[in-house]
């Protein structure tokens, strides 16, 4: 298991069609579907397996596609500095 | 433009006050020293600004207020004083002697029956003595606020026929009383009704920062003769220079960033520095609907008060465990 935590200072705001995330240091990202839905789920404490299952339905993906999508998104957010390993 | 915040103290205690947090936590001067005032005047001159805007706390309680006024006039500035209206006798006497064309005193008015009787009476005395130099202002903190008393006051005391309307904005990270953006449409509707009555009496409306076009009923802006510059684009920002000589972009965002007053700066360069710092915050909007909004797409709205927009951002510590190979 690798545990990723949201980086201190990161804050976000939910819009009607997108989700805006700031790292608090000048970096801003706008997520749209399906990344916005995944961020919202994770920020509410949804576990990895549950997120994969929910995203499968939300984004009409297969189980494998959903698992790959969730894993890749978390990795990308880690690379961007929005998530960190502690 | 910039406001010179002469004092970090006030003789009123308004629940909506944007400066309250800064006044409580200020480190340094309670009163702006005269050398800082002179540096600020130099900056205004360098920036080709014709108006010295004197703010507080309550600027008129500065022990050197009359000297500051004299020096501003000697430099050729028109003076705008932002006051709670409880102006000490010496300061009031000095202001009375300044012609209307060189002075406006924007007074945040106490609605009848809502303040201490002694303070209300003192405000009315100030209205009586300053007459047309007084512009009445209100900060709306509740959707039910009735504004029609302003017309009665203007006519009774023959004050300037303009009303300055402000919205109660949140101090970021603090707990002042403020108007929640969900109430904006109700305020917009009431303001429209008030605006029509005022206009019929020859009284114009002027808007402080943070108003947004979508809070008004359809066609209301045209009916009231308002432009997007008056209601959607007011956050340039107008800077506040604090008594210790540091700048904030505005009081609600004072905790966000400060800049020191330096000799070679102009207001444009200081404003650019703040805009640069705020670049990462600007994508945050007042409402969920702001993203695809046509006012914003057409450049007619900046998205409302930045402090109110940041107030609705979330930060919640969360973690996710990813299985290896996940």
- The half-sphere exposure of B75 on its side-chain side, counting CA atoms within 13 A, is 24
Give whole-number Cα distances, A26 to A23, B45, B226, B289, in Å: 7, 33, 35, 23
* A10 contacts on B by Cβ (under 8 Å): 315
Indicate the helix (H) or strand (E) that contains A57. helix A48-58
Q: Does A11 touch chain B (CB under 8 A)?
A: yes
Of the pLDDT bands very low, low, confident and very high (cuts 50, 70, 90), residue A37 is very high
* A30 contacts on B by Cβ (under 8 Å): 283
Q: Tell me the ipTM for this assembly.
A: 0.92
Residue B235, pLDDT score: 77
**Looking at CA atoms only, how far is residue B40 from chain A in angstroms?**
30
Q: Residues 15-74, chain A: which have Cβ within 8 Å of B?
A: 15-18, 20, 22, 24-28, 30, 42-48, 51, 67, 70-71, 74
User: Across chain A, what does the average pLDDT equal?
Assistant: 94
Q: Does A2 touch chain B (CB under 8 A)?
A: yes
**What mean pLDDT do residues A49-72 have?**
97
Closest CA to B285 of B297, B274, B277, B276: B297
pLDDT in tens, chain B (326 residues): 789 999 999 999 888 888 888 777 766 779 999 999 999 999 999 999 999 999 999 999 999 999 999 999 999 999 999 999 999 999 999 999 999 999 999 999 988 888 899 999 999 999 999 999 999 999 999 998 889 999 999 999 999 999 999 999 999 888 788 999 999 999 999 999 999 999 999 999 999 999 999 999 988 888 888 887 788 887 777 899 999 999 898 989 988 888 888 888 899 998 898 888 888 888 888 998 887 888 888 988 988 899 999 988 988 899 999 998 65
* A14 contacts on B by Cβ (under 8 Å): 288, 314
Q: Does A12 touch chain B (CB under 8 A)?
A: yes
* A51 contacts on B by Cβ (under 8 Å): 320
Q: Does B313 touch chain A (CB under 8 A)?
A: yes
pLDDT in tens, A12-35: 999 888 999 999 888 889 999 999
**Looking at CA atoms only, how far is residue B173 from chain A in angstroms?**
14
Q: Does B317 touch chain A (CB under 8 A)?
A: yes
Residue A43 tokens read as 């920020």
Q: Do A26 and B280 touch (CB under 8 A)?
A: yes
Residue A33, pLDDT score: 94
Determine the residue among A9, A13, A27, A74 to mutate to test chain B binding: the one whose Cβ has the most chain B Cβ atoms within 10 Å: A13
Q: Can you say whether the dihedral through the CA atoms of A53, A57, A62, A67 is positive or negative?
A: negative
Residue B234, pLDDT score: 78
Pairing relationship of beta strands B259-260 and B319-322 according to DSSP bridges: unpaired
Q: Does A82 touch chain B (CB under 8 A)?
A: no
Give the CA dihedral B53, B57, B61, B64, nearest 10 degrees.
-50
Residue B26, pLDDT score: 66
Residue B65 tokens read as 């207020």
Rounded to the nearest angstrom, the gap between the alpha carbon of residue A29 and the centroid of all alpha carbons in its chain is: 12
* A4 contacts on B by Cβ (under 8 Å): 319-320, 322
Q: Does A85 touch chain B (CB under 8 A)?
A: no
Report the distance separating Cα A59 and Cα B322, nearest Å: 20
Pairing relationship of beta strands A28-31 and A19-22 according to DSSP bridges: antiparallel
């Amino acid at each position: 298991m690798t545990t990723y935590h949201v980086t201190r200072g990161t804050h976000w705001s939910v819009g009607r069609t997108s989700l805006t995330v700031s790292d608090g240091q000048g970096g801003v990202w706008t997520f749209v579907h399906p990344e916005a839905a995944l961020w919202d789920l994770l920020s509410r404490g949804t576990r990895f397996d549950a997120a994969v299952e929910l995203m499968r339905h939300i984004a009409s993906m297969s189980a494998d596609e959903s698992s790959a999508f969730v894993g890749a998104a978390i990795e990308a957010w880690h690379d961007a500095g929005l998530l960190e390993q502690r | 433009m910039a406001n010179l915040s002469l004092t970090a103290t006030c003789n009123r205690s308004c629940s909506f006050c944007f400066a309250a947090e800064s006044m409580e936590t200020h480190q340094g001067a309670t009163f702006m020293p005269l050398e800082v005032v002179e540096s600020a005047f130099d900056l205004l001159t360098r920036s080709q600004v014709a108006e010295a805007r004197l703010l507080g706390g309550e600027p008129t309680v500065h022990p050197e207020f009359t000297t500051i006024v004299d020096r501003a006039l000697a430099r050729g500035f028109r003076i705008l004083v932002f006051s709670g209206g409880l102006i000490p006798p010496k300061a009031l006497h000095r202001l009375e002697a300044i012609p209307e064309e060189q002075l406006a005193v924007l007074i945040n008015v106490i609605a009848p029956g809502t303040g201490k009787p002694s303070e209300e009476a003192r405000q009315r005395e100030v209205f009586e003595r300053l007459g047309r130099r007084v512009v009445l202002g209100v900060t709306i903190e509740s959707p039910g606020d009735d504004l029609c008393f302003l017309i009665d006051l203007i006519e009774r005391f023959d004050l300037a026929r303009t009303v300055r309307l402000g919205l109660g904005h949140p101090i970021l990270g603090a707990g002042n009383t403020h108007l929640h953006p969900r109430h904006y449409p109700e305020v917009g509707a009431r303001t429209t009704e008030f605006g029509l009555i005022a206009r019929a009496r020859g009284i114009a409306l002027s808007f402080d920062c943070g108003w947004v076009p979508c809070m008004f009923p359809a066609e209301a802006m045209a009916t009231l003769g308002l432009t997007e510059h008056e209601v959607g684009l007011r956050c340039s920002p107008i800077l506040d220079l604090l008594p210790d000589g540091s700048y904030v972009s505005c009081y609600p965002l004072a905790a966000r960033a400060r800049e020191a007053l330096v000799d070679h700066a102009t207001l444009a360069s200081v404003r650019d520095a703040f805009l640069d710092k705020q670049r990462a915050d600007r994508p945050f909007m007042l409402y969920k609907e702001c993203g695809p909004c046509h006012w914003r797409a057409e450049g007619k709205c900046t998205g409302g008060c930045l402090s109110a927009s940041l107030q609705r951002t979330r930060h919640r510590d969360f973690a996710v465990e990813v299985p290896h190979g996940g």
